[in-house]
Structure 1
Amino acid sequence: MSVIAWTAVAVFTVAYVLIATEKINRVAVALGGASIMLALGATDAEHAFFSEEAGIDWNVIFLLLGMMLIVGVLKQTGLFEYVAIWSAKKARGRPFPVMVILIVVTAVVSAALDNVTTVLLIAPVTLLVCDRLGVPPVPFLIAEVLASNIGGAATLVGDPPNIIIASRSGLGFNDFLAVLAPFVLVVLVVLLLLSRIMFRSAFRHDPQRAARVMALRERDAIRDPRLVALSLAVLAAVLVAFVLHTVLHLEPSVVALLGGLLLLALSRLDPTEIAQEVEWPTLIFFAGLFVMVGGLVETGVIDQLAHAATSAVQGQLWPATMLMLWASAGLSAIVDNIPYVATMSPIVAELVQAEGGVDKAQVLWWALAIGADLGGNATAVGASANVVVLGIADRAGHRITFWQFTRYGLIVTVITVALAVPYLWLRFFAL
């Protein structure tokens, strides 16, 4: 490799370590790394901003932006609080049924919306319900964040790594539904069974406190009924368009952005206020990360790694699939799965191409997605949703330590990733 290539590797490695350790704000690291790549000549403006293979993936950026606008409007309606209170009342204040409903609601919502946003909205209400029930909120919060990462794996838009994989692989919304959604349903049932065992000491039923929960009026949470109906209608239309995007000839990014802008226009809300709900740092982080990865592509680093991986695999697709699955789960447990998937996507694309691009070779993309999405559950820093929930709990006076989260998350991760082994075998090799 050339001197510039080695320098690009060094810049990327340092940036990756800083992102993983969180010693410096990850947005600053991504922008700093991108700037250095441009200054070194590892990439240039034309490739960074306009190249499909080595530049900012605008499909990812605008898909996230559109969904964030929709969520920003939904947040103003009180709908999420309504669902949480409704769930507690349906369970009649009994702790384990409450957890079951919250887990299912969190997983389903995370499949349709970003999992970080889901836990950000549901966690505060969970604290309220647990306080009324007189049960410790930490098990409920941990279970919810595990459910959010599992539910987010089911669809293209549920978890940022899936968005990156879809953009790089050409897989569509329906592909994710067909391959990952059935598996996620099984994993969700397993999570419910594990939660009953792992958190059994938290399920203390207090009839008096349960009665107080039953006295809560979920309707009081709805601040604008008209906007609720409008938001749900637009969200439903967006999800239908995702499913039919091959017929409509509209990319998911275009659908999401059109839906977000339409809802913003019809909502009569202050656009400035909604814009403040958009996670701009996340979007900027993605942009910087894409430029850094593009520097590795342009200097030939990714190509050499792909050739090395192809030679090591030598056409053995099943061993390659298992290596991809478990390595992705292990690495995503240590570092955020977003930069990991962004880095691995070009390599997986080369591996699939080396296999002739046959349908069976697509299993590598699914191994990457499952490993990265479920591996994020293993530790407190494995996924952005984990960090958000720990912060909410800490501010509420219920500190969740790194190892407290990890001792539960690691069990769930090992079992759920292990379930992917027979699933991938049956889906792509046996049948």
Structure 2
Amino acid sequence: MTSWKKSPAAVLITLIVLSVMAQIDRNMLLGFSPQITRDLMLTNGQYGFLVGAVWVLSFGVMAVFLGSLADRFSRPRVIAAGMLIWSVCTAASGHAHNFEQMALARFFVATGEAALVPAAVALLVELFSEQRRGTAIGIFFIGIPVGTGLSFLLAGHLGASLGWRSTYTVLGIVGVVMALPLAFLREERGQGREQNATPQRGEPFVAQMRAMLRVVGQNHALLLALVGFVLFHMVYASFAFTQLWMVRERGFDAASIAKTIGALQIVFGILGGLVGGVLSDRLAKRFAGGRASFMVLLIALCAPFMIAYRFVPAGSPLFYVGMCAGFFLPLALYGPSMTLLQALVPANMRATLTGFSMLLLNLFAIGGGSVAVGMASDSLMKLGSTHALTIVLLATDILTLSSGLLFWHLARKVRQGRVALDLSGGPAVQAH
């Protein structure tokens, strides 16, 4: 085994730092949304395209391709190449002067960031034991709330002094410096622990995709897990418009609410990642439906607060509880859901499957969802609605929570013994 892989904790910490950086670069547009939409004269539909659809056109497709590369070649070097691309284009975002230029820069930021998650998840599944795998994956995805929260905090604190353009430039330079050491890391992988084991390296892209799609098509449990995974990401379609909703329809000040959103996103996102990862590892064997049952419980606990959040008075205690539940839930689901997905495919296509899941969630949730939210709210505003975003964001909440129905059905299959999960790190046992 390559020497750096003998320290799983150090690998996890490094991946968390990279994830935080990726999320800051990605979500700085959210933190500076009032300023950027004003300076570039963007409509809600254009803004929704920048935070959503452009990611589908690049991140989703490239996640599958780069995931297949991570199954074949050095995962650290795949990550390093991606980070160099996204950092250079983050700096370029600060020089955009219209919608088209910002869209082009965001396209290539997404291209680079597509390398990280597939390679990182496959590494963590390999390096951590069954008893710690959900925790490791959950902790890795803490980079999402930390990075997203920091993007709002940076926007709130640097908006007046540095401005959004200079902030983008500085972030790009920092990312390039961080990526260079990764390019020198070598990685060696064998061809399986046993003579007849599934090879640990994947096939060329076309063959790899065909093999993975066969597994998906033949595995009903994997289909349920994938659809549920995509549905709970609808919450991120609403996150893209959270600050605009609070400023335009709830009367909050842009700078002050950006700081509040950032701080709560960090605290409850971290809490979600830790609780979801740790408890799923400890409690999965105690539930008849395993990790799927655990996820159903989490969704059921958060659902009432997330719905009430859209109706209660702004600034009330229940308002903030609902907001925090929305920040908590998706991160709490990452550890168990990713562990479940990885357990349903062979070891040599785990990064490819992760990339495929990224494509699906970006196509149907983050990308399509964000554009749909923007266009639907624009249409309702033209019809005279004064609560257009409230109505549309409530719909995204309902779709998010409907993922619980899929996980409930999956839990039933597990309880009935119709699903075999392999969490050993070797080839997966196929579900019936």
TM-score w.r.t. the length of structure 1 is 0.32
- Which protein shows a greater Rg? 1
